Amino acid sequence: MNIAILGTGAWGTALAISLASKHQIHLWGRNPEQMAQMAASRSNQRYLPGFALPPSVQIHTDLATALKTAELVLSVVPTAGLRDTLQAVAATGSRIPLVWASKGFEAGTANLPHQVAAEVFKEDILCGVLSGPSFAQEVAAGLPTALTLASSDVAFAQAIAGKLHAPRMRIYHSDDMVGVEVGGAVKNVMAIAAGICDGLKLGHSGRAALITRGLAEINRLGTALGGKPETFTGLTGLGDLILTCTGDLSRNRTVGLKLAQGESLKKILRDLGHTAEGVSTAREVVRMADSLAVEMPISRSVCRVLYEGLPAKDAAEELLSREPRSENSRKK
């Protein structure tokens, strides 16, 4: 299958490397200088150093050329860039089936990626979301991972999952786009909280409690938005949450660790050099929770640390001092 991968960050590059063993990959990026460097060195020194691009991967700076023979478009850009990227695709006249790997709520609108796609493509196109517990470095290295491809068109989800499936990258299918997208978005906010927990040295027991209560928040918001409860105990819910909250390669957890050490958010993001989706998503999660009357104390505390100057230590103390409730209460 000919696949156009849009986005040359770490994840887009890792997917290009992994999928090239079975498919013809056309890798497109906006930055001409970066693309020239990648074409010359056959690697992505900025975002995924140390991994060679297979010779079969073609590199493009012209979007129309990248899409010319594509049978599937795989958009792998941060949520902040998703609308612009999809608009650029739509402007070419393309109606090629589309899958995105963005994780987050769009800043300013609180839209999930499938809602952004629906606004851009006024007519129906086959589309879906690819998500799950995965670090770019591990996928590029050929280590095993499992992902979920979700679409409202079950036949499309099953067909594309089958074509992308490989022994080292297992792809399952689902019809729950909302649940998959909410899990992928909110887990990044929880990873910032987990980083704060670890940075404050609150212990493994404290982190386990936070992850568990974080999953409850994801479930509450996700089901309020129409997601299926079982999705949140699967790969794109619990699986992605565990990885992002515990893995040393997690950018969002790194943000939390450094916040706990007293570093400013501006410096943290500058030093990180990559997008940490949880930072922008936190505001939209809280806004969405307020509009739906869903209680999300961990998300709210993270948002206050990020944007209201609340010290990380004080945020932890506030959460720890909350009154106990029934574990199964809808209000936690």
* Dist. CA 238–CA 242, nearest whole Å: 6
CB atoms within 10 A of CB 309: 8
> 177-199 vs 203-224: helix axis angle to the nearest 10?
150
* 258 counts as catalytic: no
Residue 323's Cβ-count burial label (10 Å; 0-12, 13-18, 19+) is exposed
Judge whether 308 and 192 are in contact, CB under 8 Å.
no
Judge whether 97 and 73 are in contact, CB under 8 Å.
yes
The catalytic residue among 187, 228, 258, 331 is 187
3-class secondary structure, 238: helix
* Dist. CA 332–CA 324, nearest whole Å: 8
The candidate with the shortest Cα–Cα distance to 152, out of 175, 133, 171, is 175
* Dist. CA 74–CA 274, nearest whole Å: 20
For residue 79, the Cα-to-chain-centroid distance in whole angstroms is: 8
Instruction: Give strand pairing partners of 100.
Output: 75, 129
* Dist. CA 75–CA 130, nearest whole Å: 10
The residue behind tokens 């940075």 is 199
For 113, half-sphere exposure in the C-beta direction (CA atoms, 13 angstrom radius) is 32
* Dist. CA 200–CA 148, nearest whole Å: 33
List residues with catalytic annotation: 187
